[in-house]
Amino acid sequence: MKKSIRVLFIEDNEGDAILEIDVLKKGGFEVIYERVDSPKALKEALEEKSWDCIISDYALPLFTGIDALMEFRESGTDIPFIIVSGVIGEETAVAAMKAGAHDYIMKSNINRLVPALERELREAGVRRQNKQSEDAIRFERSLLRTLIDNLPCLICIKDTESRRIIANKADVNFAGYRSEDEIAGKNDNEIFNNEYGKRSHAADLVVLQTGTPQINYEEEISDTDGNRHWYITSKIPIYDSLQNISGLVAIAHEITDRKRMEFNLMESEQSLKRQNLEYETLNKEYLSLNEEITESLDRIKKMNDDLILSKNKAEEADKLKSAFLANMSHEIRTPLNAILGFASFLKNPDINRDRTDEFVDIIDASGHQLLSIINDILEISQIESGHISITMERVNISKLLNELSVQFKKEATARNLDLVLNINNSAEDIVTRTDGSRVRQVLLNLLNNALKFTHEGKIEFAARVARNQVIFYVKDTGIGIDPDNQAVIFEPFRQVETTITRNYGGNGLGLSISRALVERLGGKISVNSVPNKGSIFSFTIPYITEKQPEVGEVRATPSNYDWKNHVILVAEDEIYNYRFIEEMLTATSAKVLHARDGIEAVELVRQNPDISLVIMDLKMPEMDGYKATELIKNLRPGLPVIAQTATVFNDIKEEGNRAAFDEYFSKPIEMKVFMQVIDAYLD
Ligand code: ADP
């Protein structure tokens, strides 16, 4: 295959050119050519086209082969330039070679052209390649340098002794030098002359000796001015073609800003944590405050509810009290009217003995009715102030029920009602320790109510013992109580009927007194009732058996007693009260002495050693009953002193005990009990 070649002929003689082309063709070339014969044409041909070689005549009419060579060299083209000449002379040849011709061939020896051209083409190829390699190396160097100088890192290359060979601008500046030349040949220890210098130099030596690269380690470096910087550094060994370590490259990338940000971040993180903790504590405080507030709110709400409740209760109590007062006024006025009315009749001297007795009976009954109302009011006051006095004694319940049965029989019959005491007469009497008068009081209330609220049918009452309790009931076939009212009738002043169009009378205190008494005795009271069918009131008291002498029978009147051998001193400043007691005592044939105050009483005891008992009023002028009793007890410790008072509340008993009374009574005095007690002390 023919080699194609582009040849530029510098030749004025076309025949010569054809001859040379022939030679080349014969030598195996396919020739593409152009022929120029002036400097201008040569210049244009070099500028406009590319050529593989130039074959030039030496002597041309317009210029010489040397001129052509000058032009060729100026163009910078590096292709074979061969001079072919008919003229030969050593000087010419030397001049041509000096001027840069690659070969000089005589036209007579034209056959040398092909081998010379082939050789020169080869050499030109080698030259071109070398030039290309050099260019590439130069380019790479400059690229590397540009990179080294412009990367935002400290970069240096060190030799096997850790001395700088290359250092970029940043490295030079950081080391405090002005130029790369100044720093060249120095190691870090020499450059920095501080802790960092030593540390870095030692690290260099480790990399150089072990060949182990150190990649991306963080280090704190103080520059030559003492400013702190942080860098991420890598030190990588460099190997020569024989794989020996020939140095290292060190690259350090500054991370001071990042580090500062990290520090700031850490600081703000810590302050955030601190703040968080503070918030947490605050939060806890708020939570507990919240709880407290919620609790307070709940308390306030409860207080509010309680207040509303109390208000409602107060309003209700108010209503009840008004109703009670209206009712009370009615209840008190009724017997009072009778007393006053019939007492005024008694003043009439013309009325006969029978009518007088009748009027006295009415007055007596009305007086008792009034007393019972007042007693109820006093009792409820005592209950409300928490004072209910109880005297435990051995009580025959069966006997008590029998007495009540007898007591109520007459009234029941008068109202056309059956009264049934439902106890088994053959069974043993129920006897327990309790306050008999209180149990009687409760039963009286219940029986009175049963009578009052029953128009036809029967009233049944009974007691039995079960599970250590005495269970009483009073059952009637009366008007009954609707369920709503059953719960409230035990409250003071509660009546099913509250209007003034009342049919039944009463003060609404009986059941609340009864409940308080039963509870005080250790039991419970309840009601079971169906409207228009009837009611069952039942209550319990503890069943306490104790073999003790029974309280003696209450004898009916003072005249049943015989105290003629006794002297009784009555200390009482109120003359009517004294007269009442004197009346009772003289009926027993006792001798009665009267003292109008405490001093007189003490004096009379001193003067009369035969006094067997003293009845002592507590509130008296000059010296009260407490003091007088104390002095009397000093004179005669064994002399019984029985106190009596009109004081309502129950502190009497305690005070009485303190003053060493043997017994006490509240006024008005219940004659039967009074006589019985005195009798017990006189025996
Ligand atoms: P009082 O009988 O003086 O009104 P209580 O406290 O004894 O007062 O009774 C309260 C109310 O209970 C009576 O007013 C009456 O409405 C009702 N109550 C009591 N006992 C009976 C009963 N056996 N049958 C019907 N209602 C009764």
Give the pLDDT confidence of 566-585 residue by residue, as tens digits: 999 999 988 888 888 888 88
Query: For residue 480, which atom of ligand 1 is closest to its CA?
Result: 25
Q: What's the 434 CA to ligand 1 centre distance in angstroms?
A: 25
Q: Is the pLDDT of residue 659 over 60?
A: no
β pairing state of 245-254 and 393-396: unpaired
pLDDT tier at 553, thresholds 50, 70, 90: very low
pLDDT at 648: 46
Sign of CA dihedral 404, 405, 411, 412: positive
Selection from 100-104, 222-226, 245-249 with the highest mean pLDDT: 245-249
Q: In what side-by-side order are the strands of the sheet with 534-542?
A: 418-421, 458-466, 469-476, 534-542, 525-530
pLDDT at 384: 67
Q: In what side-by-side order are the strands of the sheet with 81-85?
A: 29-36, 3-10, 53-57, 81-85, 103-106
More confident residue, 361 or 666: 361
The protein residue whose alpha carbon is closest to atom 4 in ligand 1 is 508
pLDDT at 643: 84
10 Å CB burial of residue 519 (0-12, 13-18, 19+) is middle
pLDDT at 550: 44
Q: What's the 532 CA to ligand 1 centre distance in angstroms?
A: 14
Pocket test for ligand 1, best of 334, 451, 481 (most atoms within 8 A of CB): 481
The protein residue whose alpha carbon is closest to atom 2 in ligand 1 is 506
Q: What's the 521 CA to ligand 1 centre distance in angstroms?
A: 22
Pocket test for ligand 1, best of 484, 511, 517 (most atoms within 8 A of CB): 511
Q: Is the pLDDT of residue 500 over 70?
A: no
The protein residue whose alpha carbon is closest to atom 7 in ligand 1 is 510
Sign of CA dihedral 542, 545, 551, 552: positive
pLDDT at 88: 63
Q: What is the dihedral of CA 383, 387, 388, 392, to 10 degrees?
A: 160
Mean pLDDT of 277-286: 88
Q: Is the pLDDT of residue 551 over 50?
A: no
Q: What's the 335 CA to ligand 1 centre distance in angstroms?
A: 20
Q: What's the 489 CA to ligand 1 centre distance in angstroms?
A: 7
Q: Average the pLDDT over each of 159-173, 247-261, 304-318, 375-389 and give the range with the smallest value.
A: 375-389
Q: What's the 379 CA to ligand 1 centre distance in angstroms?
A: 17
Q: What's the 484 CA to ligand 1 centre distance in angstroms?
A: 14
23-54 pLDDT tens trace: 999 999 999 999 999 999 999 999 999 999 99
pLDDT at 338: 83
Mean pLDDT of 233-243: 94
pLDDT tier at 282, thresholds 50, 70, 90: confident
Q: What's the 579 CA to ligand 1 centre distance in angstroms?
A: 38
The protein residue whose alpha carbon is closest to atom 18 in ligand 1 is 449
Query: For residue 445, which atom of ligand 1 is closest to its CA?
Result: 7
For residue 37, what are the CA distances in angstroms to 11, 34, 63, 73, 132? 5, 10, 8, 17, 32
Mean pLDDT of 276-290: 87
Residue 392 zone, left/alpha/beta (φ > 0; ψ -120 to 50; rest): beta
Ligand 1 neighbours (beta carbon < 6 A): 445, 449-450, 453, 476, 478-481, 489, 494-497, 506-512, 535
Query: For residue 495, which atom of ligand 1 is closest to its CA?
Result: 14
Q: Is the pLDDT of residue 543 over 80?
A: yes
Mean pLDDT over the full length of the chain:
86
pLDDT at 132: 92
Which segments of 151-255 does DSSP mark as H helices, in order? Answer: 169-175, 180-183, 188-192, 195-210
Mean pLDDT of 191-211: 92
β pairing state of 641-645 and 663-666: parallel
pLDDT at 101: 92
State which amino acid sits at residue 633.
K
pLDDT at 658: 53
Sign of CA dihedral 510, 513, 517, 523: positive
Determine the distance from the C-alpha atom of residue 200 to the mean position of all C-alpha atoms in its chain, rounded to a whole number: 60
pLDDT tier at 316, thresholds 50, 70, 90: confident
pLDDT at 332: 79
623-638 pLDDT tens trace: 888 889 889 988 888 8
Q: Average the pLDDT over each of 558-572, 585-599, 661-675 and give the range with the smallest value.
A: 661-675
Count of CA atoms in the C-beta half-sphere (13 A) of 200: 34
Question: Cis (ω within 30 of 0) for the bond into 668?
Answer: yes
The protein residue whose alpha carbon is closest to atom 23 in ligand 1 is 450
pTM confidence score: 0.39
Q: Is the pLDDT of residue 497 over 70?
A: no
Query: For residue 507, which atom of ligand 1 is closest to its CA?
Result: 3
Q: What's the 601 CA to ligand 1 centre distance in angstroms?
A: 47
Mean pLDDT of 51-64: 90
User: Above pLDDT 70, what percent of the chain?
Assistant: 90
Q: What's the 673 CA to ligand 1 centre distance in angstroms?
A: 29
Pocket test for ligand 1, best of 489, 502, 503, 526 (most atoms within 8 A of CB): 489
Q: Is the pLDDT of residue 649 over 80?
A: no
Query: For residue 494, which atom of ligand 1 is closest to its CA?
Result: 10
pLDDT at 474: 96
Mean pLDDT of 360-365: 86
pLDDT at 496: 65
Mean pLDDT of 507-530: 88
- CA 449, CA 496: separation in Å to the nearest integer? 12
Q: What's the 485 CA to ligand 1 centre distance in angstroms?
A: 10
The protein residue whose alpha carbon is closest to atom 13 in ligand 1 is 495
- Reading the block at residue 117, the tokens are 């051209």
Q: Is the pLDDT of residue 385 over 50?
A: yes
